[in-house]
Every structure is written in structure tokens, then in C-alpha cells.
Amino acid sequence: MPRSHCEWLLQQSRSGIPHVFIASLVAVLHFLVSPGARANDWPQFRGPNRDGHWEETGILESFPRQGLKIRWRHPVGGGFSSPVVADGRVFVSDVALTKPASRERVHCFEAKTGKALWVFGYKEHYGEWTLVPERGAGPTATPIVEHGRIYVVGANGYVHCLDVKTGTVIWEKNLWQDYEVEEMGCRPSPLIEGSLLIVFTG
């Protein structure tokens, strides 16, 4: 019997705005803070405490009339997860929709310059309907970063724990195979509680 619609707990020792098919990741947070101020990390969905509360100081009270200056940008593929920021790096997950197999990816950029540091990718099955531009498809769960590791959940239940510096796989889990997860059934963002990585499936 499929073990879907349940909360899945994976215990491992631990020694965001939708982006669309033609999208760019734009670093603007630096410009919301006055020069000299350093923005705090935003390592998971809705921030450090998952409450959407930003305790930054020195924030601009209003945008310049000419608008914010874009410091850097980088094109990414389809998806609906939020970027996360930790240890001077920006991470974002997406999908490159291709036939016969698409490819889910995790990108790592240097926060200050936008330099691409690494990309981790793997083949993933996306149905024919996802190839229609108007439909939109891709990872929905926002990654989470803790203690030098980033945990990423794909739309169909591939879970990866990666080294934040290199993108090397530390461990991986296939929920599609082990728990018969439905297509696009892993939408909520994972969270960490103690030694548990908590993933919701459907």
C-alpha cells in the first residue's frame, strides 16, 4: 500500500518568489541594506526561524528614484522554490525541462559577485504536461542549509544532502521509489528539528 500523504522522518547524523521558464536570479538584498551593513543569512524557507521576520538594521527607507542597481544576475530554469543564502553563498534549485528526461539542479553562487561556484544535477521524470510553457513545473520545496550541508527535495521526492562548498553528495534518498510518492508530490519545504530532517510527501 502506498505510504503517501504522510510525514516522513529521516534521521541522519549531521557531523522562495517563483522562478519561471525564462527567469533570472537577481541579487538585490545588498541594496536594501545601507553600505557597510552585512545582511544576515536566510538559510531556509521564510528565514532563520521560518517566520518571515527579518531583523536586519540599516535598511533603506525607500527605493532610489532610479530604482535599485542590479549587482548581478544569472538565468535559471523552471521552479517555484525560494533562493536561500548562507555563508556568503546563494543556493537555488530548478529544472531544465528536456526530452526524454528532464534534469533537476541545485545552483550555488557567490553572494557578493554572482560567480557560479558549482551546479549539481540529476535526471528526473517530468510528465508531458510539464513541457507546456503555460503550465509551469519544477521544484517547489525550498532547500535548507545547516552546518555546512544543504538539503534539497525534488518535486518527485529525490532528497539530496550536499556539501555546500563543493556540491558533493553526502547522502541521497529516493522517496518516489521507497514511498511511492505521487508525481510532483513533494511540494512543502523540508525542515530540521534536532537530528531529524523532516520531509512531507503526497
How confident is residue 124, by pLDDT bands cut at 50, 70 and 90? confident
Residues of the chain with pLDDT > 70, as a percent, come to 77
**Least trusted range by pLDDT, from 116-120, 153-157, 160-164:** 153-157
Q: Which of 15, 8, 5 is nearest to 171 (CA)?
A: 15
CATH number assigned to the domain with residue range 7-51+69-200, chosen from the 4 options 2.40.10.480, 2.30.29.30, 3.40.50.150, 3.60.15.10: 2.40.10.480
Q: What average pLDDT does the chain have?
A: 79
